[in-house]
A and B are shown apart, each in its own frame.
Chain A
Amino acid sequence: EPEVTQTPSHQVTQMGQEVILRCVPISNHLYFYWYRQILGQKVEFLVSFYNNEISEKSEIFDDQFSVERPDGSNFTLKIRSTKLEDSAMYFCASSETGNTIYFGEGSWLTVV
């Protein structure tokens, strides 16, 4: 069964460093998303991406965040200068029509 794959599964980074989280969405999907879940808290929407541009973003998705679809298969989330409060599980997701949304296994980011 097709699935969303994410790398790395876990990354530890120093505060202030740049991090890139990578995702391979399901191949025929057109809508792409990043969500995050701080330990013990709700899953929060960060950004949605369609037709090579951001379609929606939350207030969490400030200037230190960016997304890119560099080729036909990858979808990346970059955090420019990480802060301690960026420590979370980051989920990539994709959808064919924008209805059913499938999530990856997540990338644990720990900022120290």
Chain B
Amino acid sequence: SQQGEEDPQALSIQEGENATMNCSYKTSINNLQWYRQNSGRGLVHLILIRSNEREKHSGRLRVTLDTSKKSSSLLITASRAADTASYFCATDAFDYKLSFGAGTTVTVRA
């Protein structure tokens, strides 16, 4: 299986701090995507990084990809209470289906 696995499982930070979570996977990938899910809600697409890219930014989000280590990280800078959610990485291997990890639950304390 090429499923992504996130680390840590849970993260609690103060508003204004940065949150970093990691994702590891097992086999070669085409793309890696990060999603956010608020409790009981849908999956919101955050960012896609291709296997030939090393870093991407979108607003307060920064994603890195290290294909040699089969890992990715998601950094949320200057966190806000509204960032409280579960974050998932999902990989695809040229087969147009995503394999999700178990997610990192982020709690931002006011």
Residues of A within 8 A of B (CB): 31, 33, 35, 41-45, 48, 50, 55-56, 58, 89, 91, 93, 95, 98-106, 108
Report, as a range, how many residues of chain B touch the other chain. 20 to 34
List the B residue with the shortest CB-CB distance to A43.
B100
Q: Are B95 and A99 in contact (CB under 8 A)?
A: no
Using an 8 Å CB-CB cutoff, how does the interface string of B19-37 with A read, 1 for contact, 0 for none? 0000000000011010100
The stretch that binds A, out of B38-46, B54-62, B76-84, is: B38-46
Bound state CA distance, A101 and B45, in angstroms?
7
- Chain B residues near A102 (CB-CB < 8 A): 45
B8 to chain A minimum Cβ distance, whole angstroms, is 16
Would you call the interface of chain A mostly helix, strand, loop, or mixed?
A: strand
State which of B43, B97, B102 has its C-beta within 8 Å of the C-beta of A103: B43
Q: Are B101 and A104 in contact (CB under 8 A)?
A: no
- Chain A residues near B45 (CB-CB < 8 A): 100-103
In the complex, besides A43-B98, A44-B100, A103-B43, 8 extra interface pairs with C-beta distance below 8 angstroms are A41-B102, A42-B3, A48-B97, A56-B95, A56-B96, A56-B97, A99-B48, A105-B42
